[in-house]
Amino acid sequence: MTAPLRVGILVFPGSNCDRDCHYAVTEVLGAKADFIWHKEPTLPQVDAVIIPGGFSYGDYLRTGAIARFSPVMGAVTRFAEAGGLVLGICNGFQILLEAGLLPGAMLRNRSLSFICKDIHVQVENPKTPFTSRCRPGQVLTLPIAHGEGNYYADQAALSTLKARNQVVFRYCTEDGKVTPAANPNGSLDNIAGIVNDAGNILGMMPHPERCADALLGNEDGRLILLSLLDAIKSGQRSPKPVLAS
Amino acid sequence: MKAKVSVTLKRGILDPQGQAVLHALSSLGYPGVKDVRMGKLIELELATNDRAGAEAEVKAMCERLLANTIIEEYRIELME
């Protein structure tokens, strides 16, 4: 018998979606989850890591800029390099960008407003470990809640992202049209989520954990979290325990 | 010695804060302002008087933490 699936959820000072992620993974999806304090230099035996949303270190300097130097991020980097699955949501996405685990950077929302509402994204790439339950082009309704989600990459980085199919989600209208009006924050090319070249690290601004429970009236986020659990089950677990370097 | 580091968004990258201030100045009756760029000023007090060493160290700090060079540029000013 195999051990139950375990998801590690990082906790930084200022994380505020860690418990929502824990609830979605355990209560809604029935997997195991452990909180991992940011001071930990190593990861416990986990099959995937979620970097949750929030305001790590109060967003001081730049979003994610200080969190990326927390001891746990060294362990996450080694885990990801060994093929481990990493999902960064909102502030988690910002931390992955600052850490250089994903290309690009975040700018302040074009409107300068903090935006907290449901938006629509189109699934551009359903062949990732995070989107395998989605149909190509499927439109998902997901909540966003951020002040700095205006994704930027230079032309060379954007060309690479597109050529390698690394753009996973793009903001769109309810009927799946990717238009400037459907772009809530000014993101380059309506980008809402990307994966790294190897495909095992996803960063996304919308919050799947906030819409995984039927009680909340929207379950589109389940598709992403269930895809992640499917990927773990099908053998994309971390290939070996990740030890301190 | 002291170091002043100013960090601004690179030219060509939209600065929404700067745009908001530009519009505010324009509506206050200053139509002559052509552009506004916002940034951060970071003051460091250093335990050294070695100018060359300080400059190299502050530059490394900028590259590693103080600026995100994908979107920002920085300028270092050293004072005795």
Q: Which residues of B touch A (CB under 8 A)?
A: 9, 13-14, 16-17, 20, 40, 65-66, 68, 70-71
Paired strand residues for A211: none
3-state secondary structure B60-77: HHHHHHHCCCCCEEEEEE
CB contact, 8 Å: A62 with chain B? Answer: yes
Question: In chain B, what is the straight-line distance between the N-terminal and C-terminal CA atoms, in Å?
Answer: 5
**DSSP 8-state code for residue A56:** G
Active site residues of A: 90, 207, 209
Q: Answer yes or no: is pLDDT of A184 > 60.
A: yes
CA-closest candidate to residue A196, choices A157, A152, A237:
A157
- Give the span between the Cα atoms of B54 and B80, in whole angstroms: 11
Beta strands A105-107 and A150-152, pairing class? antiparallel
Question: What pLDDT does residue B80 have?
Answer: 84
Cβ of A152 and B68 within 8 Å? no
Q: What is the ipTM of this complex?
A: 0.87
Which of A64-68, A237-241, B36-40 shows the lowest mean pLDDT across its residues?
A237-241
Please tell me which of the candidates B16, B66, B68 has its beta carbon nearest to residue A112: B16
One digit per residue, pLDDT tens: chain B, 80 residues? 999 999 999 998 989 899 999 999 999 999 999 999 999 999 999 999 999 999 999 999 999 999 999 999 999 999 98
Residue-wise pLDDT tens digits, A102-113: 999 999 999 999
- Give the span between the Cα atoms of A5 and B76, in whole angstroms: 50
